[in-house]
Amino acid sequence: MLYYLFEFLDKNYNVPGAGVFQYISFRSVMALVASLIISLLFGKRVIKFLQKQQIGETIRDLGLKGQNEKQGTPTMGGLIIIMGIVIPTLLFSKVHNIYIIIMLISTLWLGCIGFIDDYIKVFKKNKAGLKGVFKVIGQIGLGLIVGTLVYTHPDIVIRERVQSTAGNLGSISANTTTQLKSPKYARHSSKSLKTNIPFFKNNELNYGSLSNTFFGLNSSFSWLLFIPVVILIITAVSNGANITDGIDGLASGTSAIIGVVLGLLAYVSGNMIFADYLNIMYLPNAGELVVFISAFVGACIGFLWYNTFPAQVFMGDTGSLAIGGIIAVFAILIRKELLLPILCGVFVIENLSVILQVIYFKIMRKRFGLEYAQSHRLFKMAPLHHHYQKSGFHESKIVIRFFIIGIALGALTLITLKLQ
């Protein structure tokens, strides 16, 4: 909203300094700072309010060291994260931008699902919370909305890379002396379901071609493949973040690291010069997403201030489902969703540890009986962070080491842009 105000002042009254709001970099920094301030200042008030309302977490007895001390710690702290994202985004972004609209819808949609789940746990005293089937239905609903908008909305487009042979091409060239051989972008944008993928020629994969090759579908029916993939990604990543949120600071810190990498990817994808250099598709108007992701990173870091060991507040499903969904939808919008298994490697590992634990237990029970299976588990406890807690590692050491892994995976994700 401030963008429109300062744009008006700049155009009509030529107010000194008002033009700086035209720069995405400036507005992104402002969104980051505003998000940190909101999370830190209002976060403390939210925590006091939650304590006053006795909105505390009921801790299951898992036999973990220091577990009982967390009994009664305020939950639903994800509200701090959501405020830290939504308010700066509304203030500093172009809110009419379709990418921003989709991200705000995704944030509030999954935040509401998580809030209902936490409400049932806290106020209805039902530890199971919202039934899993309703969570999945909500995630599928969001996937349908996002997938449909990406497929149909006229402003969600790409610029195709072409060889410079005529005057109908884009305006950049790495070397004017080799203009005829230099890759350029077409002047006009086009609708496409192409996405970036490492290790493939030109770093591109087309869902339309994929659906035709494997399912014999005409390109006009490529949405039959694309939308289920979107639903799968949103469901997997949001649940992965939810599972990771089992130890102080792990989910929020890991998400902040992922957010920084996604911000860099959004910036280069929305900038024609950097997109050309990195040989990735150029996404007009997608650069505005940097403002949103800056607010996201600021909110996660601000929340981490209160969520580090020993946590003063838990994010609950209000926060964990939202941040996972945000990461998934953001990656889909910038056509980097196939990099998520690398970038969100911590979430993947946590999810896999649970899946492997269950499969191994069932196999052992079938072969050797229940008593043997209970005493011979693959991990001491799942998810994986609980395994290390059972092994005697302190929470802080586990979290810091997972952060290091997350940073390494983020760097690897950026490196893959040049691998083809």
Domain boundaries, the chain: 2-49+77-156+191-339
- Which uninterrupted H or E stretch holds 194? strand 194-196
Compute the average pLDDT of residues 137-158.
95
Higher pLDDT, 189 or 69: 189
Q: Is the pLDDT of residue 167 over 70?
A: no
pLDDT of residue 56: 63
Scan for tokens 């919008």, then name that residue.
333
Tell me what the pLDDT averaged over the chain comes to: 88
Which residues, at least 6 apart from 29, have a Cβ–Cβ distance to it below 8 Å? 294
pLDDT of residue 124: 83
What band does 63 get if pLDDT is binned at 50, 70 and 90? low
pLDDT of residue 104: 97
Calculate what percentage of the chain has a pLDDT beyond 70. 89
How many other CB atoms are found less than 10 A from the CB of residue 221?
14
Q: Is the pLDDT of residue 173 over 70?
A: no
pLDDT of residue 99: 97
What band does 65 get if pLDDT is binned at 50, 70 and 90? low
Q: Is the pLDDT of residue 180 over 50?
A: no
Dig out the tokens for 409 from the structure.
């995976």
Higher pLDDT, 419 or 41: 41
d(CA 136, CA 374): 30
Integer CA distances (angstroms), 61 to 58, 71, 225, 282, 405, in order? 10, 10, 43, 51, 29
Q: What is the pLDDT of residues 279-331, one digit of tens each?
A: 788 999 999 999 999 999 999 999 999 999 888 999 999 999 999 999 999 99
pLDDT of residue 59: 60
d(CA 243, CA 180): 52
pLDDT of residue 123: 83
Compute the average pLDDT of residues 219-235.
91
pLDDT of residue 57: 62
Q: What is the pLDDT of residues 357-391, one digit of tens each?
A: 999 999 999 999 999 999 999 999 999 999 999 99
HSE, side-chain direction, 13 A CA sphere, residue 18: 15
Higher pLDDT, 65 or 45: 45
pLDDT of residue 177: 41
Q: Is the pLDDT of residue 332 over 80?
A: yes
What band does 162 get if pLDDT is binned at 50, 70 and 90? confident
Compute the average pLDDT of residues 193-197.
88
Higher pLDDT, 256 or 178: 256
How many other CB atoms are found less than 10 A from the CB of residue 167?
6
d(CA 298, CA 339): 23
